[in-house]
Amino acid sequence: MSVGAPAAGRAALARRARVRVEGTVQGVGFRPYVYRLAGRQGLAGFVLNDPRGVLIEVEGSTSAVEEFLARLGPEAPPLAAIERVLTEEREPHGDSGFAILDSPRGGAPDAPVTPDSATCPDCLRELLDPGDRRYRYPFINCTNCGPRFTIVRGIPYDRPFTTMASFTMCARCRAEYEDPADRRFHAQPNACAQCGPSVSLLRADGERVPVGPAGDVVRAAAEALCDGRIVAVKGIGGFHLACRADDEAAVAALRARKHREDRPFAVMVATAQAAGGLVRLGELERALLCGPERPIVLAPRLPYAAVAPSVAPGAQELGVMLPYSPLHHLLLADLGVDTTLVMTSANVSDEPIAFRDEDAKARLRDIADLLLVHDRPIQTRTDDSVVRVVDAPTGPRRLVVRRSRGYVPAGLPLPDPAERPILACGAELKNTFCLARGTRAWVSHHIGDLENYETLCAYTEGIEHFKRLFEVEPEVVVHDLHPEYLSSKYAADCDTEWLVGVQHHHAHLAACLAEHGEQGSGVGAIFDGTGYGLDGTVWGGELLLGDLAGFRRVGRLLPVRLPGGARAIREPWRMACAWLAAAEEAEAEHEAEHEDCEHETKIPLALRGRVEERAWRQVAQLARTGLQSPVTTSVGRLFDAVGALCGLRARVNYEGQAAVELEAACDPAERGHYPISLSHDGELFTIDPRETIRALSTDVEAGVALGAVASRFHAALSAATVEALVCVASSEGCDLVVLSGGVFQNRRLLEAVMAGLHAAGLRAITPERLPVGDGGISYGQAAVAARLMASPPGRGEPTA
Ligand SMILES: [Zn+2]
Ligand SMILES: [Zn+2]
């Protein structure tokens, strides 16, 4: 394809510049933008996409070229993210006319596919304009918005390689698509009611509800929602289950039908103003909420927020998002701007979100009363992204809980160029994988917990899909050290000579360093639930000193037994028992007269009647003997133990539930803290909370308010963490601290530690573009492998 523009007169003082633009500049309307900008300046030349981004040559009067260069960045299309502009002078050719040229063949693409983007203001205006030909058309989109990643089947990113392939554009849509001056020039999903996908409303048994044209289908769904029904809504990356958030009967029914589901539901509201009536929003939160990525923003819930109790029981925060597809906009417009909708992933307990029509019909039959579906297939299941904002002493900071729809597959830079293409397989829970080539890394969408067949399929298919999209044929495969992780087994089965194992917490440390472009060392406090340690025990409360190439363990949480192994994750009372046993043992050692006396750990008051006496005794025995009970330094499990000791949870339905509820229970006015000790044995620092456990148990037995107990525990742990980090940093002469790992999703802990480090004059970095939890591991693995290739270690194990 080659599109000509009016000829530019050749000025006396001609200048020709070659301009290379790097970043997210493909598939975002950049070439037609350049075409229009050059036309306005009367410039000749060309623009094209190539593997490095966009290449432009412009020729004309010196002042016109200057003007063009000055405007190029500031006026770029909304979805473009320019990382670098390189300009070179060229000999003027005497060209006339400006053209959009075809891409040269060969070379691997850098940014062939961009993330899905929320409906833009122009499309939204047309959607709600009765005079527009796409009035109430639920699939309206343009170059500045619409689905991308979720509809792509292959490359080049062109209509035949998307799930829009079966829809043939009508003459009017085709004319828009081919006109460089049009907002829909090369908008691959471009469609209208005459030629594009359509919606329909189904009953739970799959029978179509008879309604008229598209608009009426949405209206009928809105009416059903208004009446308190549960409607499954097919979105961009999968199905949601929706119901009115102010209708307790509807929300409770949804919770009951989803089975054992305790996780808070996210809600969708029409505007940022409506969101401000539910949660407290700062400037950054508002910007995230309104951005084209449209994540779920977790923010402190306002006391008068009009949502039913079952929406987010026991949570201080509420997850809020704005409509991001035209279908959402229509639903909320029909329901009224003040309506709050529950919009939760359509799945049953731990299964992945439903995204294929037939599958959704089968799985959601017993949950939804109606299904609002459409015939534009979703190629890749992509969950909603989840973010929150934390207050750092230097200002508000983004914290990513889940990075998926809206952010994926945008590339991230790697500090060291990967000499050979890399596949990093990630961890087990909240898995993502990462492909890397040169200085670019592409982290996958949130895959989920690699524990069932369906998730494993999503994982293996996802890897193949990314390999095709980014034309990466991995030669180096990186994996976690845990031999039983399905991701490690996948790596072992790969046909490669270059297999690199990276320790779990080192990957967390490396991911954060690499994301911030840090080349040197940092001291990391990496706190999470589980990670395979170099000594074969379960790590999860680690103080590491290291860089991308390697690390040294300089401290950790006091190791205790994990009674019954993985069962202890679902049954926090087991960890309560293990920590009580450890605390009592310490006390007995302390008091010499008790030396030979057999201690028996008794069920604490808060757990009495919730745990069987016999089971408790058995677990106390396991905790002492270590039978079937590996040793762990996990801070996540310490939180579980404290949550159980406070009587919050004897058993949980998802990992970290007790910790989430413990944080929510904190009394912000409480200023006290429990004792905690920090010791050093010449090699390692040990954060020892046994005194903390004893003191808080005494408080709970004495009936001290839960809010005070929870706050004092958080204060003790953050104080010990700060003290340990300050000691390591000063003895190692390092002023950079990394805070990462899933436990740091805890806002209270993270903010207290950051404040303490700041007061001590240390610089603390946290992951901001990638998840703080295990979703960030794959990128860290890739960064380590790239560094090892760039400067192989002289001797010893690469990452040990
Ligand atoms: Zn648009
Ligand atoms: Zn059309």
Taking only the tens place, the pLDDT of each residue in 14-25 is: 899 999 998 888
Q: Which band of pLDDT confidence, cut at 50, 70 and 90, is reported for residue 350?
A: low
> 114: CA distance to ligand 1 center in Å?
15
pLDDT of residue 112: 65
> 75: CA distance to ligand 2 center in Å?
29
Least confident piece of the model among 12-26, 408-422, 423-437: 12-26
Judged against a pLDDT cut of 80, whether residue 12 lies above it is answered with: no
> 174: CA distance to ligand 2 center in Å?
7
> 291: CA distance to ligand 2 center in Å?
28
> 134: CA distance to ligand 2 center in Å?
9
Percentage of the chain beyond pLDDT 70 is 94
Question: Could you report the per-residue pLDDT of 291-331, keeping only the tens digit for each?
Answer: 999 999 999 999 999 999 999 987 889 999 999 999 999 99
Q: Which band of pLDDT confidence, cut at 50, 70 and 90, is reported for residue 700?
A: very high
Helix (H/G/I), strand (E/B), else coil: 401: strand
Pairing of strands 551-557, 560-561: unpaired
Question: What average pLDDT score do residues 139-152 get?
Answer: 95
Query: How much is the pTM?
Result: 0.92
Question: Could you report the per-residue pLDDT of 204-253, keeping only the tens digit for each?
Answer: 998 999 886 666 899 999 999 999 999 999 999 999 999 999 999 999 99
Question: What average pLDDT score do residues 341-356 get?
Answer: 81
Q: How far apart are CA 725 and CA 440, in angstroms?
A: 32
Ligand nearest to the CA of 196: 2
> 157: CA distance to ligand 2 center in Å?
20
pLDDT of residue 794: 54
Judged against a pLDDT cut of 80, whether residue 31 lies above it is answered with: yes
Ligand nearest to the CA of 184: 1
> 23: CA distance to ligand 2 center in Å?
31
pLDDT of residue 314: 79
Q: How far apart are CA 685 and CA 113, in angstroms?
A: 46
> 282: CA distance to ligand 1 center in Å?
27
Question: What average pLDDT score do residues 140-146 get?
Answer: 95
Q: What is the Cβ-side half-sphere exposure of residue 596, based on CA atoms within 13 angstroms?
A: 0
Q: How far apart are CA 752 and CA 557, in angstroms?
A: 18
Q: How far apart are CA 180 and CA 3, in angstroms?
A: 8
Average pLDDT across the chain, whole number: 91
Judged against a pLDDT cut of 50, whether residue 272 lies above it is answered with: yes
Ligand nearest to the CA of 190: 2
Between residues 564 and 446, which one has the greater pLDDT?
446
Between residues 106 and 558, which one has the greater pLDDT?
558
| 119-126 LR contacts (CB < 8 Å, sep 24+) | 119/145, 119/146, 119/323, 119/324, 119/325, 119/326, 119/329, 120/78, 120/144, 120/145, 120/292, 122/183, 123/326, 124/326, 124/329
Judged against a pLDDT cut of 90, whether residue 172 lies above it is answered with: yes
> 146: CA distance to ligand 1 center in Å?
7
pLDDT of residue 213: 66
Helix (H/G/I), strand (E/B), else coil: 586: helix
Rg (CA), the chain: 28
> 407: CA distance to ligand 2 center in Å?
29
pLDDT of residue 598: 56
Q: How far apart are CA 608 and CA 625, in angstroms?
A: 24
Judged against a pLDDT cut of 70, whether residue 770 lies above it is answered with: yes
Ligand nearest to the CA of 197: 2
Percentage of the chain beyond pLDDT 90 is 77
> 194: CA distance to ligand 2 center in Å?
5
> 185: CA distance to ligand 1 center in Å?
11
For residues 382 and 404, the answer to whether their CB atoms sit within 8 Å is yes
Judged against a pLDDT cut of 60, whether residue 498 lies above it is answered with: yes
pLDDT of residue 1: 41
Question: Could you report the per-residue pLDDT of 124-134, keeping only the tens digit for each?
Answer: 999 999 999 99
